[in-house]
Structure 1
Amino acid sequence: MTQANIMKISIIIPSRERAFYLKSSIQTVLDIDDPNIELIVADNASTDGTDAVVAGFDDSRLTYLPSDARVSMRENFNRSILASSGDYVIVFGDDDAILPGQFPALRRLLDQHRPDGMSWIKATYGWPIEGFGDKTGGIRFYRDNSFGAPKIYDPHDDIDTLMRCQLGQLNPTPNIYHGCVSRAYLNRSQPSPGVFFDSTIPDVNFQFRSTYVGGKFLSVAHPFTINGYGPASTGGAHSGPKKGSASEKIGHSFAAENRADPYDDIIDHALTVHLVYFSTLETLRDRSGFSDPCPSYEDWYQFSLNATQTKPEETARILDILRTHAERTGTDAALAAAQQMPPRAKRTLAERWDRIKSQLRSFRLSAEINGENTVHTAAMVMDQVLGQDLDAILQGTQNQSGAWAAAKRRSKDFKREL
């Protein structure tokens, strides 16, 4: 294959006021030994020296995309994709990481299958910030989520599962956040020219849209990225943050920016994960004309009511949001029935048992290297333990059980954690 025919892969890091984390995240991308990538850091009008962090890197593959004014997360994602030029696009957060040593296998999979998109099982890392979290600074390796064979799937096959709100069974799903999507598919599925996401939460919007539209997607049970979390993570704002905490302040800013976006959801999600999913689905159906099939509103209302369990102080507001939507859509009876149902369990018994079995077939290592513990060192630890065995499996010179055994042997070079 000539250099001109090698596809280009765009890696995008949307960022906002997280210069402390961003440097490590950028470094994981620039550690990739591949000239046919581009990294775009989409800075959402940060005031904490983010520009200086980016300027500290000297690599022609890196592009800095500043914004003169604060925009919504949706718009920051959207504008960064418009600014990118790759055949495939990967997006992850500014406290996250890519695994440079696993990137050759990722590219090989894309070359072999040319899918509309590719999803994987991301690893998780908690930044060891004083006063934050109980189990941070380490990385867990799962046998079930390592060195898996690639599988082709059509997300439209799961449309009925989505309508019944069986979100735990939506696996795998198309992902642009901690996933990879072809530019051709993004252009083909976009709701309007230059607009790739038409509701507040871009990754859920893309996931649900792709479930309606369908396509040829690839799933691999192997980590290619790390999902980092810390006190400044946006996700924390949707998980009952403490009063006056950094997460709560981020949540208020996030909500204000969404209200100023013409593509704000038609339902207020009240900074709760449950309503994020419901509001995304209803906004997508309303705005993009996906009227058939129709959701099981009783199931979706039961699920949405669980938001009152995670944020009991918002119960009155959540109920008012759901009643207003029920009146607008003529689904009052479904809401009334859902209110008589017991709260939905976070996981089914089968899902809990699967989780226990997965934990038993795993091990956890410290991410510290030479006194440093960041998402960059976490990526280094993961790459050293995983090695190049997935690429060897794809080439037929290794198998999954042998690769896992080799990973366990290499793990002995690092400190074990419970």
Structure 2
Amino acid sequence: MLSIIIPTRERAGTLKYTLASVLDQASQDYEVIISDNVSEDDTARVVSDKNDPRIKYYRTSARLSMCDNYEFALSKARGQYVIIIGDDDAAIPGMLDFLIARLRVLAEPVIHMWPLHIYDWPVGDSNAKATYVAPQIAESILDLKVKACGVVRLGGWKYYELPSPYHAAIPRYILDALCERTGRVFHSTQPDVFTAMAIPAFADQAINIGKTVTLNGRSAKSNGLGFVKRGALPNIERFISEYGNYAFHQSLYGGTTSMANMIPDAVLKAKDMFPEVYGDVVFNYSAMWAYIARLNFVKHSNIISNLIDIRKTHPFILAEFLGFSFIHETAALRRTILNQLGMSKRGEEYLADDIHGFVKLLSQNSQFRR
């Protein structure tokens, strides 16, 4: 019924706990695909020590880019649905069982998504932290085309509210249709962003089940933590460099960092590929700059000082940029205050030095049980 894909590279220390959480389920109706991107650590031993028939281990013959490793892993998967998680992420005990039971009785396959918790692994002198514990919400339906067009109008902001194979259950036929149309499933340097924007060309709706199945982990080597801890940014630059002479979308400003262009590039390439979804929807470059500034991939002062050159590549309205910057700064401040007042204190109940320990503690709380 389900393929859980875990692309990995030299993160045996976190993979061990990720695997433990994914296998902490009663069902046998799923497989765990490990795509080892030529790791030189104990990855192979960590996998073999689990000795579980649900695990299928594959090792690439050479070092691949992230997208190519995802593509390689997907080629090995046999499930009717696909979920991709990182090698420092996790599944909630018993929740894959819950999901599989739902999927099995559907008359037709449909995308399933869920709220995501965020767990930060211990890094240096910093202890583990439940950065965000998502509340359970009522089940709802997401209109994918409406949402995706909204992302374009916001310059790429809120792409993460769309389902992609990363932390959502995507029917395999959708990914096969995407591959048949474009030659492969994963494009750009951001496989999750691209597929989130591409899937609306093949599906109209997704079900948000309102209960967390898998969750984000952010460790010292992860790109996710790189978004919030500036010391991890070299990891992002390294993986982008592994794409070789990758060409970002022609409308993007080449005088900034590749990190600043990677998310907009994925959105714009999907927009170009699927005109039946995006039609005449205008990508908002002014809003884009405000968003990537919020991510700290570029400074507001650098944007304004390069205004003349930026306008040679795409439209840029200063007043609109400043307005969106205010919105982003307000939203970021609001999130910080909420974390300090509520979420961080609430997360202390589930403090654990590894992500499997975290999800076990979380699953014992009646509020987060099935």
TM-score range, shorter-chain basis? 0.7 to 0.9
Shift of 1:120: 0.5
1:256 aligns with 2:245: no
Cα offsets for 1:60-94 (capped at 9, x unmatched): 11111111221111111111111100001111100
Change (3 A) 1:358 1:320: closer
Question: Would the aligned equivalents of 2:148 and 2:159 in 1 still touch at CA under 8 Å?
Answer: no
Question: Would the aligned equivalents of 1:200 and 1:264 in 2 still touch at CA under 8 Å?
Answer: no
Could you say which structure has the larger radius of gyration?
A: 1
Name the structure 1 match of 2:94: 101
Which of 230, 251, 269 aligns to 1:283? It is 269
Which of 351, 362, 366 aligns to 1:382? It is 362
1:129 aligns with 2:142: no
1:302 aligns with 2:287: yes
Question: Would the aligned equivalents of 2:159 and 2:197 in 1 still touch at CA under 8 Å?
Answer: no
Change (3 A) 1:349 1:374: closer
Find the residue that maps to 1:13 and give its secondary structure. strand
Q: Which amino acid aligns with 1:179?
A: A
Name the structure 2 match of 1:413: none
Shift of 1:248: 3.6
Runs (5+) with no aligned partner, structure 2 = none
Change (3 A) 1:357 1:258: closer
Name the structure 2 match of 1:202: 191
Find the residue that maps to 1:14 and give its secondary structure. strand
Change (3 A) 1:322 1:32: farther
Runs (5+) with no aligned partner, structure 1 = 1-7, 391-418
Find the residue that maps to 1:188 and give its secondary structure. helix
Higher alpha-carbon deviation: 307-316 or 157-166: 307-316
Find the residue that maps to 1:227 and give its secondary structure. strand
Alpha-carbon distance in structure 1 between the residues aligned to 2:42 and 2:332: 47
Shift of 1:275: 3.4
Q: TM-score, normalised by structure 1?
A: 0.74
**Aligned 1:9-408 pairs, distance under 5 A:** 9-113=2-106, 114-132=108-126, 136-138=128-130, 141-142=133-134, 145-146=135-136, 148-165=137-154, 172-190=161-179, 192=181, 195-239=184-228, 241-242=230-231, 247-259=232-244, 267=252, 270-272=257-259, 275-287=261-273, 292-297=278-283, 299-308=284-293, 310-312=296-298, 323=309, 327=312, 331=314, 334-337=315-318, 341-342=322-323, 343-346=325-328, 352=334, 356=338, 360=342, 363-367=346-350, 373-386=353-366, 389-390=369-370
Percent identity for Structure 1 against Structure 2: 22
Change (3 A) 1:315 1:189: farther
Alpha-carbon distance in structure 1 between the residues aligned to 2:307 and 2:202: 28
Shift of 1:353: 8.6
Change (3 A) 1:358 1:15: same
Shift of 1:154: 2.8
Name the structure 2 match of 1:404: none
Find the residue that maps to 1:259 and give its secondary structure. coil
Question: Would the aligned equivalents of 2:155 and 2:291 in 1 still touch at CA under 8 Å?
Answer: no
Cα offsets for 1:72-124 (capped at 9, x unmatched): 11111111111100001111100010112222221233234444311111111
Find the residue that maps to 1:118 and give its secondary structure. strand
Alpha-carbon distance in structure 2 between the residues aligned to 1:220 and 1:94: 24
Alpha-carbon distance in structure 1 between the residues aligned to 2:336 and 2:100: 30
Shift of 1:19: 0.9
Shift of 1:234: 1.5
Cα offsets for 1:158-180 (capped at 9, x unmatched): 24412311766668522211111
Question: Would the aligned equivalents of 1:226 and 1:379 in 2 still touch at CA under 8 Å?
Answer: no
Question: Would the aligned equivalents of 2:118 and 2:215 in 1 still touch at CA under 8 Å?
Answer: yes
CA RMSD of aligned residues (A): 3.7
